[in-house]
Amino acid sequence: MSVEIIRDPLWNNIRLDPLAFELIDTPAFQRLRYVRQLGLAFLVYPGATHARFEHALGTYHLARRTLTLFEEQDEYNGVARDDCMLARAAALLHDIGHYPFSHALEEIGALNHEEVARPLICGGEVADILRRELGAGAPERIVSLIRGRSESPLQGLISGSIDLDKLDYLRRDAFMCGVSYGEIDVDRLINALTLVRDPDTGETRVGMIEKGLSALESLLFAKYQMYRNVYWHHAVRSATVMYKRLVADALDAGTLDARTLASFTDEGILHDLEQRAPSDLGAALRQRRLFKRAFECPAAYLAPDAGEWIADDHHLTTAVENALADELSLEPGELLLDYPAKTQMLGLDLLVQRSYGEVKRLTAEGWKGAINLPKLSEEFYRSARWLRVYTAPRIAIDQSRVVSLANRGAVEVRARLQEGRSLFDWA
């Protein structure tokens, strides 16, 4: 079997089997060359121009390495060869449905990128290749792996507490941004992965030997640090909410079709918007005239459920933004709210093989003497997550007025809007 080799700045040589090489050459996969891994973070970290393309190659590379290590284990004899081939293909294709500028558009209600991947994998050239090489049901089985719903014993490599996607993006993002927060011991983690019998079902699953738990703790902390310092950096979020509002306004106006979003590249969507609906917001984003913070506070200072409608209800948030802008004598679109959400940022559900052979499930509840994550993970999340108000002109907004608004539920806020009453004065 001939093998192609690609040079990668993170993993050095990445070896591609003929199937992977053929999949990479499809138009759907080649689009990933032009979709940045970190969205608009390059406006803050100039090196963050790496794309989903190389991340996908890196994840595939780690899948090959891990499966090679599994060959030394007795449990590997029970894993079908097609499961291994499907896992490698899923690692390569897991991000094929990503929208331009990464996850931002999912925050305004666009279909999750894993769902967008379904027609790209199950139809067209990618599907033809997979069915020819791996069998009639291969595309559907790969989608199940990507969505975390497969019964494959290798599911945990593609979607899980310590899937290979995380190992590549944390290392790659930190490397390209020039920060040390994501420096995790990938070699130790991969060598700690193992195939075990699930004590509840008796089925073979991906797990970890107990000696790898310290490296796992480092991974979880690195993830928190990257969210706090890179992914949710205040200027990155400013650019992100500007982009979200730009696209959302175009969708609402009918100048952009939601069904075409996943076909765009980063520059392609900006160019299309510039041609169809030129705006001050689009020009500001192009020229890096980012909105300024008029207010900010960490989630730890708010009530547990405060402000969740900002993350969950895009249309309500837009209406509130416009109403607040009017109260402050700003134009619509010159005030933007941001309260990013990440479910299961430090989620954990992993089978661990103890030193004496017992296999035990480690969840966020932890176990005595090992990882105790419930309180720690919540504190990490609330520390990394900030509620912010951004405005085009630099102004200051009284903190108590924003906190009072955030503490109101969606029903109350919507009623206030319908009544035409002030959102800043709840007296």
| Overall average pLDDT of the 404-408 stretch | 93
Look-up of token digits 């640090």: 225
Checking if the pLDDT of 374 tops 60, the result is no
Checking if the pLDDT of 130 tops 90, the result is yes
What does the pLDDT read at residue 370?
A: 60
pLDDT category of residue 183 using cuts at 50, 70 and 90? confident
What does the pLDDT read at residue 47?
A: 97
Q: Give CA–CA dist 254/236, Å, rounded.
A: 27
What does the pLDDT read at residue 427?
A: 62
Q: Mean pLDDT for the chain?
A: 92
What residue type is 330 in one-letter code?
Answer: L
- Cα-based distances in Å from 301 to 271, 382, 387: 40, 9, 10
**Phi, psi angles (nearest 5°) of residue 7:** -85, 130
Tell me which residue of 346, 337, 347 sits closest to 397, measured CA to CA: 337
Checking if the pLDDT of 282 tops 60, the result is yes
Cα-to-chain-centroid distance, residue 38: 9
Contact partners, residue 287, CB within 8 Å, separation at least 6: none
What's the 3-state SS for the chain?
CCCEEEEECCCEEEEECHHHHHHHCCHHHHHHHHCECCHHHHHCCCCCCCEHHHHHHHHHHHHHHHHHHHCCCHHHHHCCHHHHHHHHHHHHHCCCCCCCCCCHHHHHCCCCHHHHHHHHHHCHHHHHHHHHHHCCCHHHHHHHHHCCCCCCCCHHHHCCCCCHHHHHHHHHHHHHHCCCCCCCCHHHHHHHEEEEECCCCCCEEEEEEHHHHHHHHHHHHHHHHHHHHHHCCHHHHHHHHHHHHHHHHHHHHCCCCHHHHHHCCHHHHHHHHHHHCCCHHHHHHHCCCCCEEEEEEEHHHCCCCCCHHHHHCHHHHHHHHHHHHHHCCCCCCCEEEECCCCCCCCCCEEEEECCCCCEEEEECCCCCCCCCCHHHHHHHHHHHCEEEEEECCCCCCCHHHHHHHHCCCHHHHHHHHHHCCCCCCCC
77-122: pLDDT as tens digits: 889 999 999 999 999 999 999 999 988 898 888 777 778 889 999 9
| Overall average pLDDT of the 377-405 stretch | 91
CB 352 within 8 A of CB 362: yes
Checking if the pLDDT of 201 tops 80, the result is yes
| Overall average pLDDT of the 403-425 stretch | 93
CB 91 within 8 A of CB 59: yes
316-365: pLDDT as tens digits: 999 999 999 999 999 999 999 999 987 666 677 889 999 888 999 887 67
Q: Give CA–CA dist 182/172, Å, rounded.
A: 8
206-227: pLDDT as tens digits: 999 999 988 888 888 899 999 9
Checking if the pLDDT of 277 tops 90, the result is no
What does the pLDDT read at residue 112?
A: 77
Count the Cβ atoms, other than its own, within 10 Å of residue 197: 17
13-40: pLDDT as tens digits: 999 999 999 999 999 999 999 999 999 9
Q: Give CA–CA dist 298/228, Å, rounded.
A: 11
Q: For the chain, give the percent of residues with pLDDT over 90.
A: 76
Contact partners, residue 94, CB within 8 Å, separation at least 6: 56, 59, 114, 117, 146, 158, 159, 165
What does the pLDDT read at residue 383?
A: 87
What is the set of domains in the chain, with CATH numbers? 4-232 (1.10.3210.10), 234-339+383-419 (1.20.1250)
| Overall average pLDDT of the 164-179 stretch | 96
352-371: pLDDT as tens digits: 999 888 999 887 676 666 65
What does the pLDDT read at residue 375?
A: 63
